[in-house]
Amino acid sequence: MPPSSRLVPRALLTVLPRLALFALLALLGLLAGCGTLGQVGAGTHSLPTASFTVTARVTAVVVNGGSGSVDVTGAGRSTVSVSQQATYSSTPPKVTHVLHGTTLTMSYTCPAEIVCDVSYQVQVPRGVAVSVSTSTGAVTLTSLAGTINAHASTGLITADDLRSPVATFKSNAGGVIATFSVPPRTLTATTNVGPIGLSVPGSTDYRINAHTFVGTSTVTVHRSSSPAHSISASSDLGSISISPS
């Protein structure tokens, strides 16, 4: 083994190549998101913000995002309101929304070009189920009470004032920060590179499974072996904190 290798822990040696890859992806995502890459070529363009409202009954909202942020907020309302902003370098993306039964699905497709993204701001009835995915972009969830499933390949997932009984968060390169105002029944958060910070009501006991490959894990809520409320958090490279809200 070369002398320099002896100075680096074996576990860290296995993580460094992955960290470098995710760091590169995160940088490219940030550049694309703010239009920097587009300025290298033909420049970027933005369509006027488009808005629509769905008055039919909706019990689930699915946002299949790409490069762009997604912000979903729950409120005491009966309709779904959506605002979307598209940015592109040559050809506008094709944006669609489809209501199938009571599930509203939003997505978009892009031609081959340097910059093409759509950012969403969605207002929903508080109790609807929400599923969000992005390839490059932040996910923000606020005041939701239905089942949550959020995945960001490169981006930070932030959630606040949640009442959801079941929530799943995954960020490949970014992190997860979530605060619950009602104890979740099942909460799962995973990252490859990035921290995890979970805040839950401290009056409840939780069955905890927390593991980080490189980083620290701090749990300050009451533990229990009961499966009534369970929290699972894991990170390959990043700290984990589970604390009272």
Q: Tens digits of per-residue pLDDT, 5-42?
A: 333 333 333 444 444 444 444 444 444 333 333 333 44
Confidence of residue 226 (pLDDT cuts 50, 70, 90): confident
State yes or no: pLDDT of 69 exceeds 80. yes
**What local confidence, expressed as pLDDT, does residue 11 receive?**
37
Give strand pairing partners of 232: 188, 209
Q: Can you give the pLDDT at residue 227?
A: 83
Q: Tell me how far apart the terminal alpha carbons of the chain are, to the nearest angstrom.
A: 47
User: What CATH architecture does domain 9-244 belong to?
Assistant: 3 Solenoid (2.160)
Identify the pLDDT of residue 172: 96
DSSP 81-130: EEEEEEEESSS--EEEEEEETTEEEEEEE--S-S-EEEEEEEEEETTSEE
What pLDDT does 204 receive? 95
Cα 169 from Cα 189, distance rounded (Å): 5
Q: What is the mean pLDDT of the chain?
A: 87
Asked if residue 213 has pLDDT above 90, the reply is: yes
